[in-house]
Amino acid sequence: MIQDFDKNKEKYRKKCFEFTAERLRESVNQDNFIVQAISEINELDKVINMLSRRLNEYAGLYVPELYERINDNETYARIIATKTRKQILEDLKLDKSIGFDLKEKDKQSIIELANQITTLFQQKNKVKDYLELLLKKYVPNIYYILGTMLTAKLLAQAGSLKSLSLFPASTVQMLGAETALFRHLKTGAKCPKYGHLFLHPLVANAAPRKRGKAARMLADKVSIAAKVDYFKGDFVADKLLMQLENKLKI
C-alpha cells in the first residue's frame, strides 16, 4: 500500500491511468471481433427485413405482380433497382398490369431504396465471409461441427472462447434458452431441451421425440471440440461428427 499519497496525488493518479490503459489495450482479442461481427449480421438482418417490407409496399404501386413470383428479398430489390417497368412486365409475360404507371420523379425514391437494400445485402455477405475466415483459423473444430452462424452465436452468448471451453456440456445445451431455463428453476415449469443448438440440422431434422437426445449428444461433442480448440490440440472434429451421425441414424 502507498504511504505518501496526499503529497504526490497527481503522480499516483497518473499511475492508475497508465495501469488501466495498458490492460485495456491487452483486453482486445479475437473473441471481440467475432462477437461484433455476429451482432452486426443480426442487426443488418433486422434492418433489411424492415426496409424490404417498405419496398414491397412502395413498389407494389406500379408492379404489384412481381412480389408474387419472387419471394426472395435480395433478387426483388435487385430487379427493381436495375429494370424499368416495361422490362419487368415483359419478363413476367404480362400484357396489362394492375399497377399505376408512375412518373420518373416518383420512381426515384423507390429506386434509391432498392439500391440501399442491395448494398446492405452485399455488406452482410462480406461480413459473413470475414466471419468464416476468422472462425476457420480460431476455432476449426467447433466450426466443422456447427457451421458459421451457429458457432458465432454460441461464442457471442458465452462471451469468449475461454468461458465456452470451461462450460460443461449441459450448459452448452442450454445456451440461448436462458429465460426458459430460469423459469423452470423458479416456478417448476418444463425444462427446455435446447437453445441455439436447435438451428443445427441434426437436431432440427430429428424426430420430435428424439430431439432432446440429439441436442444432448451434439452439446457433448461441441464442448469437447471447444476444449480442444482452446488448448490448441489437433483436428478431431471429423471423428466426433462421424460418431454423432452413426449414433443418430440408429
How far apart are alpha carbons 176 and 185 in whole angstroms? 16
Nearer to another protein, 23 or 249 (CB): 23
Across 54-142, where does the E strand assignment appear?
none
Strands (E), 83-197: none
- In a 13 Å sphere around the CA of 7, the CA atoms on its Cβ side amount to 3
Angle at 153 between CA 150 and CA 158, to 5 degrees: 125
Shortest spacing between CB 142 and another protein, in angstroms: 24
114 vs 175 by CB, closer to another protein: 175
Q: How far is the CB of 211 from another protein (least distance, A)?
A: 27
Minimum Å distance from CB 43 to another protein?
17
Which is closer to another protein, CB of 23 or CB of 232? 23
From the CA atom positions of the chain, what is the Rg in Å? Answer: 26
Q: Closest separation between CB of residue 169 and another protein, Å?
A: 22
Question: How far is the CA of 107 from the CAs of 54, 63, 86, 101, 199, in angstroms?
Answer: 14, 12, 14, 10, 40
- CB closer to another protein out of 187 and 246: 187
- Least Å distance between CB 1 and another protein? 6
Residues making contact with another protein (CB under 8 A):
1-3, 5, 9, 12-13, 15-17, 19-21, 23-24, 27-28, 182, 185-186
Closer residue to another protein in complex, CB, 47/189: 189
Q: All 3 cell numbers of residue 119? A: 448494398
Read off the C-alpha cell for 141: 473444430
